[in-house]
């Protein structure tokens, strides 16, 4: 797993206008920590082929070197998503945000402020905490160890990569946990319709993340779908068609 050798343009911001009667429905897809837009691109292409306007941004600190992720403040991630949201709102009547892992936590952060402006949110193995690791402990660890072992490419399908980092930046983890701590305390402010996909066999995040989110959000309309044949990066795994098709049905139902 590394960003070197990724196909040209795959790690860049990707924005495409839709067509037909779905052109004014926008979908914003947010990748995970140490990952890249590559993990969301097939999903985005699936939706675009069905007429939707789609944006897959590259989050700050990603797509370059792991050291850059140690230089980012957590507020930069939701700020990037917020910028892309506003661009979509200029051309779309309804907007959905989809997030994978940390991208799910970032989506929830945005939804605490913009639920009334969102038609819905879709989460895949979303992240809201790391068990027994508060952000204060992560800060202490980051003083002594700047890089840790990578947690990326947790994919059951052989030969598939999300083109992310081959190391885990410790200062970046500290910033990530601060964002999740802030967001978790405000989950009740998330009121947009919610669809959540959870891999039963996830080696990266425990099921407690899904349970905290499902219990904590203020959304009355919330749906959980189990994935039985995928690991953490389920958007690139065997169950991706389940995610793609059910998300399409969710989007159609709420637009």
Q: Is 199 within 8 Å of 234 (Cβ atoms)?
A: yes
Q: Six-digit token pair at 203? A: 């080696």
Active site residues: 101, 202, 232
Rounded Cα distance, 168 and 70, in Å: 9
Instruction: Report the SS3 class of residue 210.
Output: helix
| Residue 199 bridge partners (DSSP) | 227
Rounded Cα distance, 83 and 161, in Å: 28
Q: Is 131 within 8 Å of 156 (Cβ atoms)?
A: no
Geometric angle at alpha carbon 76, from 124 and 161, rounded to 5°: 40
State phi, psi for 54 to the nearest 5 degrees.
Answer: -130, 140
| Residue 167 bridge partners (DSSP) | 149
Rounded Cα distance, 110 and 157, in Å: 31
Q: Is 67 within 8 Å of 168 (Cβ atoms)?
A: no
Geometric angle at alpha carbon 27, from 26 and 28, rounded to 5°: 125
Which residue blocks in the chain are alpha helix, DSSP H? Answer: 41-49, 66-69, 76-89, 102-114, 135-142, 170-184, 208-216, 240-253
């Amino acid at each position: 797993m590394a960003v070197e050798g990724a196909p040209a343009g795959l790690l860049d911001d990707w924005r495409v206008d839709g067509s037909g009667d779905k052109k004014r429905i926008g979908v914003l897809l947010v990748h995970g920590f140490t990952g890249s837009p590559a993990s969301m691109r097939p999903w985005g292409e699936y939706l675009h082929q069905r007429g939707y306007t789609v944006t897959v941004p590259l989050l700050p600190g990603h797509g370059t070197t792991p050291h850059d992720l140690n230089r980012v403040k957590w507020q930069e991630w939701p700020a990037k998503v917020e910028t892309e949201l506003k661009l979509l709102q200029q051309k779309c009547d309804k907007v959905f945000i989809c997030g994978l892992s940390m991208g799910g936590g970032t989506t929830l952060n945005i939804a605490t402020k913009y639920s009334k402006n969102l038609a819905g949110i879709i989460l895949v193995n979303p992240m809201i905490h790391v068990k027994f690791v508060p952000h204060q402990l992560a800060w202490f660890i980051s003083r002594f160890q700047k890089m840790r072992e990578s947690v990326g490419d947790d994919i059951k399908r052989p030969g598939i990569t999300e083109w992310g980092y081959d190391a885990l930046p410790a200062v970046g983890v500290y910033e990530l946990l601060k964002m999740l701590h802030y967001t978790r305390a405000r989950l009740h402010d998330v009121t947009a319709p919610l669809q959540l996909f959870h891999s039963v066999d996830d080696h990266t995040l425990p099921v407690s993340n899904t349970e905290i989110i499902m219990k904590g959000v203020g959304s009355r309309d919330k749906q959980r779908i189990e994935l039985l044949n995928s690991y953490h990066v389920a958007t690139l795994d065997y169950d991706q068609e389940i995610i793609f098709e059910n998300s399409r049905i969710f989007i159609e139902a709420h637009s």
